[in-house]
Structure 1
């Protein structure tokens, strides 16, 4: 594992990280706004938007992170050699499995904890978009594997977190990148609940990001957190599908389903 090159102050490096996230957020909105104008229901959680347009919007959303990362690599002359992507070793797969299971265990325990403490919570905007559309929910399985997880891990881990290595320790970079990752998700929760509920949800997103970020820091292979992130979201959407199909019938423990799908940190 190569040592970090400390060439600037930590404060400036963190500001650059926030700037990169802000740039990606603006770029994503530039891509999806025309579609939202075409289909106003995409911006209204109380309406069911056209399924095809919803899928296109989600793909454009995650594509914005790919594009933001690619622009950064081009402008800074880092090039694609900056991307830590290789065939996983046995150790890489061990970390990927551990991060997947660790994130699932965390969200279940965290979910039960907020139920026990009766803490408020906000649902993710994506869950509102999916609604009770089972076909769209099934499409989300492919979206999280081929678009969501690769895009977010490429940008927040291989671009933002790796950029933070230039002035922070690896643990410090994981913490800072996870904070940035959580703050970027504010728009996904702000319209669906109270301020306290949004904060609880962002804590869950932050902690999940810590797990993915640490796995990347230990392996220097962006495929590792990508696999873990995808596995985590597949678990949640799988339970969401079960909730739609069986929760009302009493065949499955609804409390388990509700706590496990309370947070979907896409």
Structure 2
């Protein structure tokens, strides 16, 4: 772990700038949560969210004026904001959005979603305050997180670009493409696009192939692989059980809809999951993005930020239902990404999370085949 990363655990005492930023963000969160209340919504979830947001505002204000010890204040502010994230997400899932029209534009913004996002940033500021990160450190981490989010987005956009470029010489030779052939072609393009983005990032940051953590697995790696797969499915079970018990609805992955139309497609995706999907997604989001975050974040912090980025790029894959259902599904992806990120952080071997990810997806695809086949 680098000295910069260790600053997350024992850095200098933060200036009042960080609590000040937290106060502003918590204030935005509180106002957004109060909008549905002012419109007559008396749902206890919304009221509780507004109360937790108020607690975060008060905590940051007291912290800014030196009336509360740093670690206590940071913990309370972060905890309160995480509570708002969960409550606002639940409210969105239950259809409470409090839409507001944007002047001069024929669109409306769900204000509760604004609270959801603002609370997420507020929680991050609370964590920064807890670890004594000053404004300069906060700026450095924010810029790197933004840059690596762009790398993650580039990985997402690279696939359709490569598809278009390769379709010019390839598709006429194979036309007409069946759905199975098109799926294989798209996945190969995903692999190529990921390699191009990775190569471009390594070149721009003056890194070489030694940055890629690929080495022969040890018995310890094998144990992590087996245990990690069990933990991944266990995490999915726990999250799914919690959602079902609380009445949270999630969005289906677009692959599920494809399985309903053509179950045989899942048989093709099983090997593709192990050979392409798992390895190349882990290459970009764990080896490139998460490992780069080690430079400015603590390792746990890097795992969390990389998991947020990983979940965010799956928005389009789950855009099969309403906003609240999509957020619930992304929450599941975030939880699973935390597991994969932790396994990569513990092993420093890309092959381990790549195999776990690939086998996990392959088993899900096989289950879809038996369900709809």
- Does 2:339 correspond to 1:208? no
Find the partner of 1:227 among 352, 355, 363.
355
C-alpha contact 1:63 1:151 (8 A) present in aligned 2: no
Name the counterpart of 2:158. 27
* Rg (Cα) greater in structure: 2
C-alpha contact 2:154 2:197 (8 A) present in aligned 1: yes
- In 2: Cα distance, 1:198 partner to 1:134 partner: 24
- In 2: Cα distance, 1:186 partner to 1:52 partner: 25
Name the counterpart of 1:176. 305
* TM-score normalised according to structure 2 size: 0.58
Matches within 5 A, 1:60-139: 60-139=189-268
- In 2: Cα distance, 1:94 partner to 1:193 partner: 38
C-alpha contact 2:318 2:326 (8 A) present in aligned 1: yes
1:212-249 Cα distance to aligned partner (Å, 9 max, x none): 0000001110111111111211221222122124xxxx
Following superposition, the deviation at residue 56 of structure 1 comes to 0.9
- Does 2:148 correspond to 1:150? no
- Count of matched residue pairs: 234
Worse overlay, 173-182 or 226-235: 226-235
Name the counterpart of 1:43. none
SS in 1 for 2:366: helix
Kindly report the root-mean-square deviation, in angstroms, between the aligned alpha carbons of the 2 structures.
2.4
C-alpha contact 2:159 2:193 (8 A) present in aligned 1: yes
Name the counterpart of 1:141. 270
Change (3 A) 1:53 1:93: same
- In 1: Cα distance, 2:237 partner to 2:256 partner: 18
> What 5-or-longer segments of structure 2 have no aligned partner?
6-136, 172-177
Name the counterpart of 1:4. 2
- In 1: Cα distance, 2:290 partner to 2:229 partner: 19
C-alpha contact 1:69 1:159 (8 A) present in aligned 2: yes
> What 5-or-longer segments of structure 1 have no aligned partner?
40-48, 246-266
Following superposition, the deviation at residue 33 of structure 1 comes to 4.5
C-alpha contact 1:83 1:158 (8 A) present in aligned 2: yes
Name the counterpart of 1:243. 371
- In 1: Cα distance, 2:335 partner to 2:204 partner: 31
- In 2: Cα distance, 1:125 partner to 1:64 partner: 21
- In 2: Cα distance, 1:36 partner to 1:107 partner: 37
C-alpha contact 1:140 1:237 (8 A) present in aligned 2: yes
1:67-105 Cα distance to aligned partner (Å, 9 max, x none): 211221123221111101101111111111121111111
- In 2: Cα distance, 1:14 partner to 1:204 partner: 21
Following superposition, the deviation at residue 165 of structure 1 comes to 0.4
C-alpha contact 1:5 1:165 (8 A) present in aligned 2: no
C-alpha contact 1:63 1:147 (8 A) present in aligned 2: no
Change (3 A) 1:34 1:119: farther
